Structure 1
Amino acid sequence: MDKVSLAEKLGLINEHWRPKVIGELNGQEVKLVKFKGTFVWHHHDSEDELFLGVSGTFRVEFRDRTVEMGPGEFIIVPRGVEHRTVADEEAAILVFEPAATRNTGDIEDGEFTAPTGVRL
């Protein structure tokens, strides 16, 4: 049991939209990711996702509304709900979701699809 420094782990991330696993518990993964730009519209058939703002601002867009997010705020996107994330400037986010969840959900997109389970 070791503590994890989010700042230290974020310093190791040099690319956007590529989540890195920093912890696991009860079949869930805790991931850090940097956002910049606009992600693809997608949904997850079987997984809920939690996005927690660490630094910077971002938004989670749904087909019927947009939720503005900042550091210390989180949102849970229920399974099956189409969404995308957008950050005008770089933002850091902690993501909590079931292990092996593909970041693009139901969409295959070579630009955004990150390998699952990549650890820092």
Structure 2
Amino acid sequence: MDAPRSPARLAAALTERWSPRVVAELEDVYVKVAKVEGTLVWHRHDDEDELFYVLKGRLRLELEDRAAVALGEGELFVVPKGVGHLPVAEAECHLLLIERKTTRHTGDTTIAQTRSLADQLRPLP
């Protein structure tokens, strides 16, 4: 990355739902943006934590080991490694995600919306 970027603008420009895109990297983590709506799938990341930061809208994270977490704009939550979670957005929501480079999109589960790392690394619009 050779110039400042706005995660909010990058997320807003995305056309696909549940298809995170890498916008920056540092050491062993990727910074990603995503536009989401509806429900993804229950999954877990056995070896990696996952940070969700809401840029726009609201996100609910259903968690297998505790009560759901509701996030509004400007709020973040870290899903600890090994915890099953289900991201849900009742309306369009824009996210910034921070994940280790080894984190698979839908963790231990594969569905039609699962995106490979190569797909997440595609150039942004």
User: In the alignment, is the contact (CA less than 8 A) between 2:49 and 2:80 conserved in 1?
Assistant: yes
Deviations 1:6-59 (A, max 9, x none): 233124310110000000001100000011001100000111000001000111
TM-score of the pair, normalised by structure 2: 0.89
Q: Among 70, 73, 76, which residue is 1:71 paired with?
A: 73
Q: How many residues align?
A: 119
Higher-helix-fraction structure: 2
TM-score of the pair, normalised by structure 1: 0.92
RMSD of Structure 2 on Structure 1 (CA): 1.3
CA distance in 2, matches of 1:93, 1:102: 17
Identity over the aligned pairs, expressed in percent? Answer: 40
Partner of 2:6: 5
- SS of the residue corresponding to residue 79 of structure 1 reads coil
Query: What is the correspondence of 1:52-91 to structure 2 with a 5 Å cutoff?
Result: 52-63=53-64, 64-91=66-93
Partner of 1:44: 45
List structure 1 segments (4+ residues) > 6 angstroms apart after TM superposition: none
Structure 1 residues without counterparts, runs of 5 or longer: none
